[in-house]
C-alpha cells in the first residue's frame, strides 16, 4: 500500500471517530435536556395533585364536616407525593435547563435546606393522615394549618413566584 493510501485511510478513520464523538456529545445533551423536562413536568403535575388534595381538605374543614375516607385519601396523597418530590429536583433541572420552572437556584445551592423542608413537609403530612383518620374537624384543621405552613416556608425560600 502506498503512503497516500495510508494517509487517506487514516484521515477517513479520524473523520469517522470525530463524527462518533460529536454524535455522542450531542445525544448526551439531548438526554440531559429530556431528563430535566421530564423531572420538571412530573414535579409540576405532582404539585397540582397536592393542590387538589389540599382543596379537598380545605373544603371539608370550611364545611365543619369531615368525610373521613376522602380526607384520609387526600392526606395520604399529600404524604406519598411529598415523598416523591425531592427526587424530582435533580441537578440541571432548574431554569438554566431551558425548561419553564419556578424552582429557584437556591434548591441546588442550599440542597440541605431544601431537603430539610421536604422532610418537614412529609412529617406534617404524615400527622395529617393520622388526624384525618380520627374524622375530627378540629384536629384535621389544626394539622392542615401545620402542613400549609411547611408549604409556605418552602415556597418563600425555593419558589420564584412568591
51 compared with 10, residue with greater pLDDT = 51
**What is the reported pLDDT for 33?**
59
123-133 pLDDT tens trace: 999 999 999 99
**What is the reported pLDDT for 162?**
52
- Nearest C-alpha neighbor of 90 from the set 136, 38, 154: 38
**What is the reported pLDDT for 137?**
97
Nearest-angstrom CA–CA distance, 146 and 127: 9
Residue 7 has pLDDT above 90, yes or no: no
DSSP 60-72: HHHHT---HHHHH
Where residue 1 falls among pLDDT bands split at 50, 70, 90?
Answer: low
**What is the reported pLDDT for 66?**
97
**What is the reported pTM?**
0.79
28-61 pLDDT tens trace: 344 455 788 999 999 999 999 999 999 999 999 9
DSSP tag of 96: G
Amino acid at each position: 500500500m502506498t503512503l497516500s493510501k495510508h494517509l487517506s485511510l487514516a484521515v477517513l478513520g479520524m473523520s469517522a471517530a470525530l463524527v462518533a464523538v460529536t454524535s455522542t456529545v450531542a445525544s448526551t445533551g439531548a438526554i440531559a435536556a429530556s431528563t430535566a423536562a421530564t423531572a420538571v413536568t412530573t414535579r409540576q403535575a405532582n404539585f397540582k395533585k397536592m393542590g387538589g388534595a389540599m382543596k379537598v381538605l380545605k373544603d371539608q374543614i370550611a364545611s365543619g364536616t369531615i368525610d373521613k375516607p376522602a380526607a384520609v385519601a387526600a392526606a395520604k396523597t399529600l404524604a406519598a407525593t411529598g415523598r416523591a418530590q425531592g427526587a424530582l429536583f435533580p441537578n440541571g433541572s432548574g431554569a438554566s435547563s431551558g425548561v419553564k420552572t419556578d424552582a429557584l437556584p437556591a434548591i441546588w445551592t442550599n440542597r440541605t435546606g431544601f431537603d430539610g423542608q421536604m422532610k418537614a413537609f412529609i412529617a406534617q403530612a404524615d400527622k395529617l393522615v393520622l388526624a384525618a383518620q380520627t374524622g375530627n374537624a378540629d384536629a384535621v384543621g389544626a394539622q392542615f394549618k401545620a402542613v400549609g405552613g411547611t408549604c409556605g416556608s418552602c415556597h418563600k425560600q425555593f419558589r420564584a413566584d412568591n
